[in-house]
Amino acid sequence: MFDFDYVWMKYAIKLAKLAEKNGEVPVGAVLVLNKTMIGSGYNKSICNYDPTSHAEILALREGGKKIRNYRLLDTTLYVTLAPCMMCLGAIINGRVKRLVYGTSNIKLDSLYNFLCQYKEKNIVSSLKIEKGVFSYICKNVILNFFKKKRR
């Protein structure tokens, strides 16, 4: 972990809270290249009527447009929640170098193990995965959102 990991994850948490204000599942993502943000996003599936409008996808799209390349080499993606399979596919196809996420997805608890298996089989040899940056905060943002929804 690097000091700037905490800076970018704080920003991703702010984005997650924006998603929550809009009635979306509170997930935020920030894409960074050379310590500069090139893309960001928060869940907008409901407001965009688009099941692919996840925070990660939106951040990757914005980053690709900014650098004018779908290959997001040497980038780091910060996400408050471990990515779903769709987002993981985009991360892999975009050749993101490093994935940093805050908390595990309770519904997809085995995602981290799945990612490790991918790495062991050299399917994704270059993707580095780190978890647990502001884990407690990220976890509580999600849990509190669903507690409010169920009231």
Is 87 annotated as belonging to a binding site?
yes
Alpha helices in the chain (DSSP H): 3-21, 45-48, 55-67, 85-93, 111-120, 135-149
- The answer to whether residue 56 is catalytic is yes
Q: Is residue 116 annotated as involved in ligand binding?
A: no
3-state secondary structure of 141: helix
Q: Using an 8 Å Cβ cutoff, are 81 and 42 in contact?
A: no
Catalytic residue among 20, 24, 56, 120: 56
Flag whether 138 is marked binding: no
Residues 6+ apart with CB under 8 A from 94: 60, 64, 70, 71, 72, 75
Known catalytic residues?
56
Binding residues for Zn(2+): 54, 84, 87
Question: Binding site residues, as ranges?
Answer: 54, 84, 87
